[in-house]
A and B are shown apart, each in its own frame.
Chain A
Amino acid sequence: MATYHLTTPLTSEDTRQLNAGDVVYLSGVLYTARDAAHKRLVDLIDKGEELPFDLEGSVIYFVGPTPPKPGDPIGSAGPTTSYRMDSYSPTMLAHGSKGMIGKGKRNQAVIDACKEYDGIYFGATGGAGALLGKRIKSAEVIAYPELGPEAVRRIEVEDFPVTVINDTHGRDLYQMGREQYEVK
């Protein structure tokens, strides 16, 4: 279990060194999207149209924050459950995205896509919304404002703490961790 500090956008060089279980502190820009936004983004990709942000090296954060208090860039902002994005993530990775942040297990198609396209699925601590929200220094809605908490936001983070769940070698921390501590 190693610790890394990485800045987005991520490259294949960044992602290939990571192993399931490593702790990474991310800085730079992340883009937020949940299922409703993913559906629209993948529709645009399928039609060959331009996306509201550059996918190359991007890290997508699955989050629907609370409204900000006056003076704050964003409210509480922990991860949502990721399986709802499983049908969209391989397309995002195939088109240059290098990382996703969420919580909970992914399907085999996502794990395979991480291996094929040098992508990483990071887990953030669910229910740590106050702590994670504080690591977000700015937030700006850049697409689909009508989706409210589910709109696409460009957020800047500093030392955002995540753990590598699925790495570029096809490994899965959820499976490995459980096997290690299971009492049969």
Chain B
Amino acid sequence: MREIEFDTVVKTVRDLIIHCSTDLPEDMYNALKTSVEVEKSPVAKAVLEQILDNANIAKTEERPLCQDTGLAVFFVRVGEEVKIKGGLLRDAINMGTEQGYKDGYLRASTCHPFSRANLKDTIGYNLPAIIHFDLVAGDKIEIEYAAKGGGSENVSRARVFPPAAGKEGIIEYVREVVSDAGGNPCPPIVVGVGIGGTFEKAVISSKHALFRDIGTENPDEELNEMEQTMLEQINNLGIGAMGMGGTKTAMAVHIESNPCHIASLPVSVNIQCHSSRHAHITL
């Protein structure tokens, strides 16, 4: 059984969070650069240029890209032949999250759902992290991290359709969710679509779909075609960067599909803003 030190995990998570808060991933940066060239609306073009300027300032001056530094979301795949020495993996991830958000001068945004009291002095600074664990073969731990802001979560939706809704029903639903969201989720967005499974499986799949790099193809031909259809329909909505009108509303649609119950067709749509802060690392 391979062992990984508790403190190694803490430090890795801390550094990943700080890095992500100021360094826009290359996939989104490149997609923005391409968009500036093709955007037809001068207002939206100016917004896209500002977003790129912002990314350059954030990186060179190590300032957070956005003041909404999000809730910390993790997908962690733990090999069955590895264990943490000196503590629990969940505790290490939470400790790394707290250190990263504090040391990086990031905003603590977790609060009690009713009193709205900030939890930084009770549960911990921007704690608890949202962690999805999975067990896999091998002796490695793979950590995927995203800082998930509130604006784009607020417009995300899920619904269980009757099977008769079919592919057309799903495509129409995704278009409707993005249309209703307008400029609120800070477009240009990435749209994560989770299909099938149970209700919660669809939702988690839609979140995980956002981790895929923009520009990569869905290996499933049918899903790849659906993604292209959805992307075209979304960009035809005219919402544009920050909702000010334009030809570029989404950078990509990513679908994750699962087998489901004979009676149901769950669909979840999770939206990601242009400040798509995500990264992964393998220990």
Contact = CB atoms under 8 A, between A and B. Distances in A.
Contacts of A177: 41, 43-44, 238, 240, 243-246
Contacts of B151: 80-81, 103-104, 126
B63 A75 contact: yes
Interface string A2-20: 0000000000000000000
B50 A161 contact: yes
Contact of A1 (B43, B69, B107): B43
Contact of A127 (B51, B63, B237): B51
Interface residues of B, number: 50
Interface in A29-80: 36, 63-69, 75-78, 80
Interface string A160-174: 010101000000011
Q: Chain A: interface residue count, which band? A: 35 or more
A7 B236 CA distance: 38
Contacts of B54: 125, 127-132
Nearest to A183: B236
Interface in B41-73: 41-44, 46-47, 50-51, 53-54, 57-58, 61, 63-69
Interface in B106-156: 106-108, 116, 118, 120, 150-151, 154
Contact of A67 (B58, B107, B236, B275): B107
A153 interface: no
Contact of A130 (B57, B154, B184, B239): B57
Contacts of B275: 127
A131 B274 CA distance: 15
B68 A176 contact: no
B242 interface: yes
Contact of B154 (A21, A81, A123, A125): A81
A78 to B, nearest CB: 5
B58 A182 contact: no
B238 A178 contact: yes
Contacts, number: 169
A79 to B, nearest CB: 9
Interface in B157-215: 182-184, 186
A81 B61 contact: no
A125 to B, nearest CB: 5
A71 B106 CA distance: 16
A23 interface: yes
Given A23-B46, A67-B107, A104-B243, A126 B273 contact: yes
Contacts of B274: 127
Interface string B56-100: 011001011111110000000000000000000000000000000
Given A105-B182, A126-B151, A133 B63 contact: yes
A130 B58 contact: yes
A67 B275 CA distance: 19
B172 to A, nearest CB: 15
Nearest to B151: A81
Interface in A132-167: 132-134, 148-149, 161, 163, 165
The 5 closest A-B pairs by CB, nearest first: A177-B245, A182-B238, A181-B238, A183-B236, A130-B63
Interface of B: 22, 40-44, 46-47, 50-51, 53-54, 57-58, 61, 63-69, 105-108, 116, 118, 120, 150-151, 154, 182-184, 186, 236-240, 242-247, 273-275
